[in-house]
């Protein structure tokens, strides 16, 4: 749980989160009884982590290195799809390891394996010490100011932009995002957002699917399962969830923009944009979903009118277009947030806002204090 937030005056880059672990674990004698408390003679499972859905999770220790670890167990998977999702997370974390050397966005993969002829699968990663975004919102939203909240949005957007091969996470919510207790630099050409994204089992990559050779490949099974059951966070489902998944140009690379729009609204206003009672209520409301988004813009303008409220409202609209092909990318939204945070760019004329959002990094309608196009091209 966060114990303090420090911001140096007149420098939005000097935000530091000091955190303590959330007390969300309990002892469990099951491991001792089954002999699973030590995997591969190396990974000792110590405390069960509460809140998992399709997997059972533990904090533990790597007795070879003495480091803290996080272990997921998939015990007796109920279907090929459940097994494929677990394997999918393993493969993605392995694939992303090289990119983590540049900007770390996912937990570091350590090991994986199978027990009892594949009836139990396990994944071992580092234990990420930080603060869940859900905990930050509960503990500190009411005492934070708009600058602090937009800096959180900037970090989360940066951690979720430009995943390799246009991969969509497809289950982004505040319980899957960890804020690290480190200072970030808003002026770096290659910013480290100090934010880690968890739970990659639901992720989908169209490129990997196209190059899959066998019907039992993980991505093929996941592709064939999309639209047949809902196992992700209900609140963050974009409208295309209820469309034909085989239809071309369904915009998988813009899938996560919808979740980022919902997060932006919550960070600014402290409220959820939607209040759907169930999936049926949501599905029946799709025809008026953009009207709800437009109504939410007035809340944003009211909450941030003097600090970029009109620009933030337009970002929300463009992140949450019902047609995913028309939706703003997370990367573009993150760049726009940078100009609000650093350049204090607060336009009020919609024509100027739309011109800026076409390509924030090449907008020539203003004279910037800290930014030059030449520096962006060089980076």
pLDDT score of 117 more than 70:
yes
Q: Which of 126, 157, 184 is the last residue of a domain?
A: 126
Average pLDDT on 228-250 reads 72
224 and 251 housed in the same domain: yes
Q: Evaluate whether residue 244 is within a structural domain.
A: yes
- At residue 195 the predicted structure's pLDDT band, cuts being 50, 70 and 90, is very high
Do 167 and 267 belong to one domain? yes
Residues 113 and 248 grouped into a single domain:
no
Q: Which pLDDT belongs to residue 271?
A: 96
Position 30 scores a pLDDT of 67
- Among 103, 126, 149, which residue terminates a domain? 126
Q: How confident is the model at residue 27, as a pLDDT?
A: 52
Q: What is the largest CA-CA distance in the chain?
A: 68
* Domain-embedded: residue 334: yes
CATH assignment of the domain containing 56:
3.30.200.20
- Residues 76, 188, single domain; the answer is no
C-alpha 366/C-alpha 346 separation (Å) is 11
Could you tell me if residue 355 is inside a domain? Answer: yes
361 located within any domain: yes
Quick one: 93 and 214 in the same domain?
A: no
Q: What DSSP assignment string belongs to 78-116?
A: SSHHHHHHHHHHHHHHHHTHHHHTTS--SPPEEEEEEET
pTM, entire model: 0.88
Both 197 and 290 in a single domain?
Answer: yes
Q: What are phi and psi of 362, to 5 degrees?
A: -125, 25
Residues sharing a CB contact under 8 Å with residue 249, sequence separation 6 or more, in sequence order: 325
Average pLDDT over residues 356-360: 95
Q: Which helix (H) or strand (E) holds 71?
A: strand 67-75
How confident is the model over 81-107, as pLDDT tens digits?
999 999 999 999 999 999 999 899 999
- Number of domains comprising the chain: 2
Between 50 and 246, residue with greater pLDDT: 50
User: Rounded mean pLDDT of 317-339?
Assistant: 95
Find the domain containing 83 and state its range. Answer: 22-126
Q: Is 116 or 109 the better-scoring residue by pLDDT?
A: 109
Residues 234 and 328 occupy one common structural domain:
yes
The residue out of 94, 126, 158 marking a domain boundary is 126
Task: Band the pLDDT of 26: cuts 50, 70, 90.
Answer: low
Percent of the chain with pLDDT over 70: 85
Mean pLDDT of 152-156: 98
User: Do 87 and 208 share a domain, yes or no?
Assistant: no
221 lies in the same domain as 116: no
């Amino acid at each position: 749980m966060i114990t303090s937030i420090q911001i140096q005056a007149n420098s939005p880059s000097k935000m530091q989160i000091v955190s303590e672990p959330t007390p969300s674990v309990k002892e469990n004698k099951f491991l001792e009884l089954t002999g699973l408390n030590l995997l591969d003679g190396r990974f000792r499972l110590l405390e069960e982590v509460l809140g998992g859905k399709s997997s059972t999770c533990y904090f533990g220790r790597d007795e070879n290195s003495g480091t803290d670890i996080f272990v997921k167990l998939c015990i007796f998977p109920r279907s090929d799809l459940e097994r494929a999702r677990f394997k999918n997370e393993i493969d993605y974390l392995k694939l992303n390891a090289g990119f983590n050397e540049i900007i770390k966005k996912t937990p570091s993969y350590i090991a994986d394996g199978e027990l009892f002829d594949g009836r139990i699968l396990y994944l071992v990663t580092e234990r990420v010490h930080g603060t869940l975004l859900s905990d930050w919102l509960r503990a500190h939203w009411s005492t934070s100011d708009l600058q602090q909240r937009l800096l959180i949005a900037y970090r989360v957007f940066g951690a979720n932009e430009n995943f390799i091969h246009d991969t969509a996470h497809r289950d982004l919510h505040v319980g899957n995002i960890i804020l690290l207790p480190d200072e970030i630099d808003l002026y770096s050409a290659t910013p480290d957002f100090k934010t880690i994204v968890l739970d990659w089992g639901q992720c989908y990559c169209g490129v990997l699917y196209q190059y899959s050779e066998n019907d039992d490949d993980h991505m093929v099974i996941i592709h064939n399962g999309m639209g047949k059951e809902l196992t992700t966070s209900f609140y963050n489902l974009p409208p295309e969830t209820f469309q034909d998944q085989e239809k071309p140009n369904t915009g998988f690379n813009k899938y996560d923009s919808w979740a980022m729009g919902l997060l932006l609204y919550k960070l600014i206003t402290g409220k959820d944009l939607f209040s759907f009672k169930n999936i049926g209520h949501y599905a029946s409301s799709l025809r008026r979903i953009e009207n709800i988004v437009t109504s939410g813009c007035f809340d944003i303008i009211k909450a941030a009118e003097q600090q970029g409220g009109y620009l933030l409202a337009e970002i929300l609209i463009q992140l949450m277009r019902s047609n995913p092909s028309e939706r703003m990318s997370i990367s573009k939204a993150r760049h726009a947030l940078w100009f609000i945070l650093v350049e204090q760019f607060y336009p009020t004329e919609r024509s100027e806002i739309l011109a800026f959002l076409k390509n924030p990094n090449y907008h020539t309608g203003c004279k910037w204090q800290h930014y030059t196009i030449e520096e962006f091209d060089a980076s």
